[in-house]
Amino acid sequence: MAVVEPVETPAGARRRLRLRNPATLEEIGEIEVSTESDVRAAVERARKSQPGWASLRFEERGRYLRRAVRVLLERQDEFVDAIVRETGKPRAEALAVEILAACDALSFYARRAKRILADRTLPVHLMKTKKLRIAYRPLGVAGIITPWNFPFLLSLNPTVQALMAGNTVVLKPSELTPFSGQLVEKLLEEAGLPEGVFNLVLGDGETGAALVEAGVDKISFTGSVRTGRRVGEACGRNLVPCTLELGGKDPMIVCADADLERAANGAVYGAFSNAGQVCVSTERVYVVDEIHDAFVEKVVAKTAQLRQGAEGEFDVGPMISESQLGIVERHVEDARAKGAQIRSGGRRNPAQAGLFFEPTVLTGVTHEMAIMRDETFGPVLPIMRVRDEDEALRLANDSPYGLNANVWTRDKGKGERMAKALQSGSAVVNDCMLTYGVTESPFGGVKESGVGQVNGEIGLRSFCHAQSILIDRFGAKSEVLWYPYTAKKLGLLRRALRLLYGTPLGRLFS
């Protein structure tokens, strides 16, 4: 049964979508799909309110966000209920990753944006008669398009960064989790945000595509590589800057000197939290030969302890949709047919009504299998035996993706060296998945995993144009390079060239 399906509407009426809870398949509500003209109207509202919003001081913009933190703290249960209803995720995950991380993003940027985006003076090495200032100017209206896996946080976090940088926002959340998008709207409304500064449009890919074409000044997109490519193409055609936060196939490398107990716990958490539906999930593991069997034994035992369910205390929730579940089934079946051993799980959970796939551990996998090459985005942990760390690094880099990665070793220096040898946007030593959650850390993939970065100073500045303002300091009546061009000036230029780049003294200046 589809968790999102069209509702029959009279001819000429707006499209509507009906949503179900993926854990129970119960109906949870309907949304009206925003049309192209709704999207344009939202962008227009955002455009009108942008100059007023940008004219506020950082402290004033931050005050709204701090008020949002208070609302979120007071109403956390209500927000968690709504997120759990449309994703089925465990309450602990909703509270930690959606609410706590949202409070952190709100307070972090509210407090630090002023310092990060303050005008700066840069030293000028050559033209000492000029002063160089850098002003971080808002881009205007930011269009933000988000996925369903952390539907509240991934919608709120870029919104907060765009707002603190002085932009106004139009958000289009996933059609699978529109109610979390409405939570962002409600939160900012209750925090008293001025009219038109934040705007929500609902719908599927059609609405997202309309937003990309609606004349916004920046697109912040989080989602799959396939859609990201289309969004990037449209932004290229429209000459609109975009950041694309896309999928991954994150490798985990376990060295012979790793703390096996911690590594096994980390592998189980990294692979199965949010039912494996995390962009930085551990999607493939390379373990050096001498510890492979001991590691596998621990992982299989720990996986057996996980409780899957829809209510009460449980560890692993459902997949979000039939089509995601279908990908997981195809990857596991392909691996089994090519010789992998299923050490745990390997099938839909027959005890549950909803879209559950059992936490699954595979061994004997190879790079000929889809499970080691394509993003699975489900609760599957394939483990591959490798000769040594060099082979692990080579295989980890043998992927079109490069989002995140993790290395496990007691030698932290080696861990850092191996992290640098990994072709990934970020990496973690002796932990996993954390890089998105550490607010200071810029986040974004290399290779097909994305373009540009969110979060941290770099992410905040990506919602601005760094305008350089060059100011003449002394007001001379003319400059050396201005007219007239004479033989004397030519000679002067030649001597300057030789002095600056052909002598040791000149090299000091240049």
Tell me which residues are annotated as active site: 245, 279
Rounded CA separation 36/192 (Å): 28
What is the number of alpha carbons within 13 Å of residue 234 lying toward its C-beta? 20
CA-only gyration radius of the chain, Å = 26
Rounded CA separation 122/230 (Å): 38
Rounded CA separation 146/157 (Å): 10
- Residue with Cβ nearer ligand NAD (161 or 363): 161
Omega cis (within 30) before 484: yes
Spatial contact of 284 and 384, defined as CB atoms under 8 Å apart: yes
Rounded CA separation 409/415 (Å): 6
Give the footprint of ligand NAD on this chain (CB under 6 A).
145-149, 154, 172, 174-175, 204-205, 208-209, 212, 222-224, 227, 230-231, 245-248, 279, 375, 377, 403, 445, 450
- Residue with Cβ nearer ligand NAD (346 or 450): 450
- Residue with Cβ nearer ligand NAD (21 or 227): 227
Shortest spacing between CB 145 and ligand NAD, in angstroms: 5
- Give me the residue whose beta carbon is nearest to ligand NAD: 208
Strand 218-222 versus strand 242-245 pairing type: parallel
**The two three-digit tokens of residue 451, written as one number:** 């373009």
**Distant-in-sequence, close-in-space partners of 393: CB < 8 Å, separation ≥ 6:** 253, 418, 421, 422
Shortest spacing between CB 208 and ligand NAD, in angstroms: 2
Shortest spacing between CB 213 and ligand NAD, in angstroms: 9
Rounded CA separation 432/442 (Å): 16
- Residue with Cβ nearer ligand NAD (62 or 223): 223
Rounded CA separation 302/265 (Å): 7
CA 245 from centroid of its chain's CA atoms:
5
Of 393, 446, 385, 390, residue with least CA distance to 419: 393
Instruction: Measure the CA dihedral 19/21/24/25, to 10°.
Output: 20
- Residue with Cβ nearer ligand NAD (285 or 403): 403
Residue in this structure with the two tokens 């701090």, named with its chain if needed: 66
**The two three-digit tokens of residue 230, written as one number:** 């289309």
- Residue with Cβ nearer ligand NAD (25 or 279): 279
